[in-house]
Structure 1
Amino acid sequence: MAKNRFSSTAGPSQRQLRVGEVIRRALSDILNRGDIHDPDLNRLSVTVGEVRTSPDLKIATVYVMPLGGQHRDEAIAGLKRNKGELRRLLSKEVVLKNAPDLRFQIDETFDRMDHTRELFARDEVRRDLDDEDEDDGAGEER
């Protein structure tokens, strides 16, 4: 059976990463300038954290977070409502064969970082980490 080239678990290609970063920068600029004709969206400060593209570059998943993490639903709704205009403005800034279909999701990276910090701050984790540091230095001679 032939191997499907899109099902490899190796991760995104260099091309996908490069195009995703170009799209991320362009969308950040568009949102920062307030080029969208939607006052509800323009009053929100939205950070574009990451853009992941499909292997054929036809779909771009945009991970966003409103400033301060508040008004998440409102930001996603505004971006989805203005998806066509964002795609049109993106196609003017980024030279691609086809402008990708934009899909918006909340960027959970910040929440995961906070959770990780909380885990490391726990007494039992700190104790285990301190024990490990002592074990590493006990057997060394200089």
Structure 2
Amino acid sequence: MRKNSIKNTRVNAEVHKELAEIIRNGIKDPRIKPMTSVTAVEVAPDLKTCKAYISVLGDAEAKKDTLTGLRSAESYIRRQLAKTVNLRNTPEIRFILDESIEYGVTMSKLIDEVSKKDTASEVHEDGEDSQ
């Protein structure tokens, strides 16, 4: 199976959906924050490994605790995934912190600040020209 084949895309989508459901409803670990989401999943073409990109809303400590909790619950998550997704091999899951959403929000705030300063300076310059 090639990396970008239709089968691989379908497997990624199914694993993504089930993994999000397991993390949201199946794990009772208090270290895993409620605002944890699975942003992307990449299952290897041989179905042996899987990279799960996780986004956590909170501070650095919350992110660290959530990743620790997910890594400790990995065998449970893998077992639940094997029950719900019919694959020849259930992939070994590696959880990776995805900070792209947080980065996007930060950049959006910076752009808004610059545009506000720019419009404020235009209004100030227009006020000086009319005098």
How much has 1:113 moved relative to structure 2? 1.5
CA distance in 2, matches of 1:116, 1:13: 33
CA distance in 2, matches of 1:39, 1:114: 27
1:69 to 55, 58, 66: 58
CA distance in 2, matches of 1:108, 1:18: 25
How much has 1:95 moved relative to structure 2? 0.6
Map of 2:91 onto structure 1: 100
1:18 to 4, 10, 16: 10
Q: Any gaps of 5 or more consecutive residues in structure 1?
A: 128-142
How much has 1:117 moved relative to structure 2? 2.2
CA distance in 1, matches of 2:46, 2:67: 24
Aligned amino acid, residue 58 of structure 1: K
Higher-RCO chain (CA-CA 8 Å, sequence separation at least 6): 2
Map of 2:73 onto structure 1: 82
CA distance in 1, matches of 2:6, 2:110: 33
Q: Percent identity?
A: 27
Map of 2:48 onto structure 1: 58
Question: What is the TM-score when the length of structure 1 is the normalising length?
Answer: 0.67
Q: Any gaps of 5 or more consecutive residues in structure 2?
A: 120-131
Count of residues paired in the alignment: 113
CA distance in 2, matches of 1:32, 1:104: 15
Query: In 2 relative to 1, CA 97–113 (structure 1 residues): closer, same or farther, beyond 3 Å?
Result: same
